[in-house]
Amino acid sequence: MTSTLNNDVADTARRLAERPERIWAAFEHAASEGRAAFIPFMTAGYPTPERFPAVALQLLEHADLLEVGLPYSDPLGDGPTIQRASEEAIEHGTSTRATLQAVKALRARTDKPIVVMTYINPVYATGPKEFMRLCVDAGVDGLILPDLPPDEDLGIRFLAAEAGLALTFLIAPTSTPERVRVVTSACTGFVYAVSVTGVTGARDGGALSEVPALIALARAHTDLPVAVGFGVKDAATARIVAVDAGADGVVVGSAFINALKAGDDLGALAAKIVSGCRK
Amino acid sequence: MQLPTYPLPDARGRYGVFGGRYVPETLIPALDTLRDAYAEAKTDPAFLSSFETLLREYVGRPSRLYLAENLTRHAGGARIYLKREDMNHTGAHKINNCLGQALLAVRMGKKRVVAETGAGQHGVATATAAALLGLECVVYMGREDIRRQALNVFRMKLLGAEVREVTSGTATLKDATNEAIRDWVTNVRGTFYILGSVVGPHPYPAMVRDFQSVIGEETKWQLQAAEGRAVPDAIIACVGGGSNAIGIFAPFAYLPEHQRPQLIGTEAAGQGVDTGFHAASVAGGKVGVLHGSMMYLLHDDEGQIQAAHSISAGLDYPGIGPEHCYYSDHNVARYVPVTDAQALSALQLLARTEGIIAALETAHAIHQAVITARELGEGKVIVVNLSGRGDKDVAEVMRLLGPGLTGPGLTGSELGDQA
Ligand SMILES: Cc1ncc(COP(=O)(O)O)c(C=O)c1O
């Protein structure tokens, strides 16, 4: 009994050490090349379940980390672009298991960290423990749950720690110093700073004026890498966030979905954004 | 006047496991501020006096507690009283809450309010409060509901509000609520979100309940005057998100069990709970999270929210407020399904027996009132919350029954149409 417990603890500790390390290494690698880490986002099963793997691999070629969206019917934090992509993905049968199978297939082709973004209801519906197990089995490194403030469910944090999954919570321009303290101290992989008061979607660079203050506030509370998302769509907006504001990572989502819709070359857009991330 | 104090929710906004604040972090500081501002207002005599004056002089409160003798005779059992929220200004209970929240918005220095609406009653009430208090007003409404409730859409426009059509998802109340929350996330610094039911993140379910509790509080003294007893044997109300029901339940719900009346909420069973076309979150749902709150919810095994269905736009919502979920789990209240067809006949029954055309939402409660009156028998007393009047539904009911009342009523194809 005692030895099983010890084995469990040792196993957990090993996984805890290993998983966020892959995320941290990705940020460090980018920093060593004088860049902010490039973190593209794509909704699983989009544009179709058949085409998603190729799209994700194309993004992975340029990425330091990949963020995969597990589609949800009522994504409160998302603007029209990701809403529609999620609706279409669900219509095409992209389930929780299908999403994680797709991630597992990617995992066989890449060593780069992959984080899954979804809302809390699909996690609860699958059962948090089973959900985490499926994530670990698929080779997921971390989770982002935008409608779960860290103080809302300590159980999720415990289970994620036990499973060795990094948890990223969000801070926003409206966050008070106290909230930034609460949120950053709950993050185990990296901190996600939301660039604007609003939902996801491509915007003008002018909307990013609150990012420097937010990053400074985060740095006062944490040593974890701080990635900025919402509203970054091209080299110019990436530069504002990475160079002017000094973010450690740049998340770009809606712009890639829009590019897919327009039939534009994802690789070319990704390369441009990476150039904007260069400090 | 005082606003009531109840033992729930706890400090974290929970009713047992239900409730909470599952929202993007952007909104957490706004919810903290709202919680504190509301707590202050609740004990401020100036705020309470403005609220009371508006309820009396503008809404026309107290609403009557009317003994429906003909309906009582028809049912042949307990005496049925109707709490006439339909006689309020704007025609439903929704205005009680809207005035409370709009006063709070003004107090907090907000210049703009947003709201979601299903039947349009909450939208109209919000637009009304905004016009009265000089606030800019945007109302989100699903495309499907805009079709069903055209008259209320025009009312909101007349009142100076902007109505924004929502086409995402199922294009009904759920999606209008998503859009209103997204607007709030985006404009949170200058905007107040006037939520229309006892749903959403804490403190909304508690705040809306408190503003609606005037319904149950009045019922106590009115029933005392009419029957010599403040507590009836049963109280019945329809449940969408659950605001009219909580308004009449909560003042009785925390009484000791032996003094507590039967509390019965009627959920929209649509075409039947086993058909998949319904909005009965307790009878046909399971625990999940929607719009910031843990509640009974219609969602599939993957956690994707399912489309609700009801003949009445105001009940067409896949969730139910967290306090009702708590009541259900702890046998404080029970929630029974009532179908579209049953509601449609109850609407006609009340019209013919009492000369009152109720809202389709309310008709769900009327159906149950007849059943409960018979079960309880003579000498007992039932209060039904007549949450709203039917003017907004007359066109839709005419479409279903035919202009000469000779139409087929609810046939399979009519229902298919709406589903
Ligand atoms: C007349 C009437 N009754 C009931 C409802 C349902 O809402 P709730 O359950 O919050 O009372 C509505 C909603 O629009 C309504 O207009």
Q: How confident is the model at residue B407 (pLDDT cuts 50, 70, 90)?
A: low
* A179: nearest CA partner in chain B: B29
| Domain residue extents for chain A | 2-276
Q: Is any atom of ligand 1 closer than 6 Å to the C-beta of B242? A: yes
Q: Is any atom of ligand 1 closer than 6 Å to the C-beta of B135? A: no
Q: Is any atom of ligand 1 closer than 6 Å to the C-beta of B244? A: yes
**A27, A24, A7: which is closest to A249 by C-alpha?**
A27
Instruction: Write out the catalytic residue numbers of B.
Output: 94, 116, 387
Question: Looking at the predicted structure, is the pLDDT value of residue B366 above 80?
Answer: yes
Domain A2-276, classified CATH 2.60.40.10, yes or no: no
Strand partners, B92: B388
Match domain B65-90+214-418 to its CATH number in 3.40.50.300, 3.40.640.10, 3.40.47.10, 3.40.50.1100: 3.40.50.1100
pLDDT reported for residue B231: 98
pLDDT reported for residue A262: 97
pLDDT reported for residue B150: 87
pLDDT reported for residue B418: 35
pTM equals: 0.95
Strand partners, B163: B139
**In this structure, which residue's CA is closest to atom 7 in ligand 1?**
B240
Nearest chain B CA: its distance from A77 CA (Å): 6
Share of chain B above pLDDT 70, in %: 97
Rg (CA), chain A: 18
CB contact under 8 A, B185 and A76: yes
Q: Tell me phi and psi for residue A230, to 5 degrees.
A: 85, 115
pLDDT reported for residue B24: 95
Residue of A152, A168, A178 best to disrupt the B interface, most CBs of B under 10 A:
A152
pLDDT reported for residue B412: 42
The Cα angle at residue B274 between residues B269 and B275, in degrees rounded to 5? 80
* Interface check B186 vs A, CB under 8 A: yes
What is this model's ipTM?
0.93
Which of B28, B189, B287 minimises the CB distance to A179? B28
Question: Looking at the predicted structure, is the pLDDT value of residue B416 above 70?
Answer: no
pLDDT reported for residue A194: 96
pLDDT digits (tens, 9 = 90+) for B58-88: 999 999 999 999 999 999 999 999 999 999 9
3-state secondary structure chain B: CCCCCCCCCCCCCEECCEECCCCCHHHHHHHHHHHHHHHHHHCCHHHHHHHHHHHHHHHCCCCCEEECHHHHHHHCCCEEEEEEHHHCCCCECHHHHHHHHHHHHHHCCCCEEEEEECCCHHHHHHHHHHHHHCCEEEEEEEHHHHHHCHHHHHHHHHCCCEEEEECCCCCCHHHHHHHHHHHHHHHCCCEEECCCCCCCCCCHHHHHHHHHCHHHHHHHHHHHHHHCCCCCCEEEEEECCCHHHHHHHHHHHCCCHHHCCEEEEEEEEECCCCCCCCECHHHHCEEEEECCEEEEECECCCCCECCCCCCCHHHCCCECCHHHHHHHHCCCCEEEEEEHHHHHHHHHHHHHHHCCCECHHHHHHHHHHHHHHHHHCCCCEEEEEECEECHHHHHHHHHHHCCCCCCCCCCHHHHHHHC
pLDDT digits (tens, 9 = 90+) for B324-362: 999 999 999 999 999 999 999 999 999 999 999 999 999
| Domain residue extents for chain B | 15-57+94-208, 65-90+214-418
Q: Is any atom of ligand 1 closer than 6 Å to the C-beta of B388? A: yes
Nearest chain B CA: its distance from A42 CA (Å): 19
Which residue stretches of chain A have pLDDT < 50? 1-2
Q: Is any atom of ligand 1 closer than 6 Å to the C-beta of B387? A: yes
Q: How confident is the model at residue B410 (pLDDT cuts 50, 70, 90)?
A: low
Pairing of strands B65-67, A166-168: unpaired
pLDDT reported for residue A202: 73
pLDDT reported for residue B415: 40
Within 10 A of A263 (CB to CB), how many other CB atoms are there?
Answer: 6
pLDDT reported for residue A16: 55
Which residue among B295, B387, B394, B397 has the greatest number of ligand 1 atoms within 8 angstroms of its CB, and so is best to mutate? B387
CB contact under 8 A, B302 and A125: yes
- Could you give the CA distance from residue B227 to residue B218 in angstroms, rounded to a whole number? 14
Annotation: CATH topology of B15-57+94-208: Rossmann fold (3.40.50)
pLDDT digits (tens, 9 = 90+) for B201-243: 999 999 999 999 999 999 999 999 999 999 999 999 999 999 9
pLDDT digits (tens, 9 = 90+) for B19-59: 999 999 999 999 999 999 999 999 999 999 999 999 999 99
Question: Looking at the predicted structure, is the pLDDT value of residue B408 above 70?
Answer: no
Question: Looking at the predicted structure, is the pLDDT value of residue B417 above 60?
Answer: no
Strand partners, B238: B266
Q: Do domains B15-57+94-208 and B65-90+214-418 have the same CATH topology?
A: yes
pLDDT reported for residue B61: 98
More confident residue, B362 or B169: B362
pLDDT reported for residue B101: 98
Which of B185, B189, B303 minimises the CB distance to A122? B303
**In this structure, which residue's CA is closest to atom 10 in ligand 1?**
B243
